[in-house]
Amino acid sequence: MLDDLNSRLLSEVQRNAMLTAQELGERLNLSASQAGRRRQRLEAEGYITGYTARLNPDLVGLTVQAFVQIQVASHAPDGVRSFANLISQRPEIISAWTLTGEADYLLRVWCADLAGLNSLIHDVLLPHPAVSRAQSQIVMDQFKPDTALPT
């Protein structure tokens, strides 16, 4: 179980993973060494799984964000493994989920342009033998940016 200090620490590092132990300690009313040890313990216990930087998609040349729903023809283990391997190798697919309901998978993708999205769907996803259907929704605007998990 997380105590209040650990929950607050997780919230702080989700907002800014570059906080020093000193800065973290000041925010939590702890010494730098206590804050650093708590962060290290949360890392070791798997609460913190890594650190990343959020990039501005426009500035790195990504103008099209979309969600792609995939239906598979068969749930045979070899086909599912092969499809999962394909997904893991495509950098434009930034996250993927298995779902209940009509679609089997939901993919979140970022592409440079509509031609890139079209190529991903028609040249990469649909030709895969496990895929029977792909349906895309292009994001018009993201009015709530990705945010931290509630702690």
- What confidence score (pLDDT) does residue 1 get? 73
Average pLDDT, the chain: 96
What CATH code would you report for 64-138? Answer: 3.30.70.920
- What confidence score (pLDDT) does residue 124 get? 98
What CATH code would you report for 4-44? Answer: 1.10.10
pLDDT tier, 4 (very low <50, low <70, confident <90, very high otherwise): very high
Q: What is the pTM of this model?
A: 0.89
The domain locations on the chain are: 4-44, 64-138
What residue type is 83 in one-letter code? F
- What confidence score (pLDDT) does residue 151 get? 87
Cα–chain-centroid distance for residue 15? 16
Would you say the C-alpha torsion 2, 50, 59, 90 has a positive or negative sign?
Answer: negative
Q: 4-44 with 64-138: one CATH topology?
A: no
- What confidence score (pLDDT) does residue 49 get? 97
- Burial of 18: CB neighbours in 10 Å, binned 0-12, 13-18, 19+: exposed
For residues 89, 121, 142, 57, the Cα torsion angle rounded to the nearest 10 degrees is 50
- What confidence score (pLDDT) does residue 77 get? 93
pLDDT digits (tens, 9 = 90+) for 39-72: 999 999 999 999 999 999 999 999 999 999 999 9
Distance CA 127, CA 85 (A): 14
pLDDT digits (tens, 9 = 90+) for 80-118: 999 999 999 999 999 999 999 999 999 999 999 999 999
Distance CA 23, CA 29 (A): 10
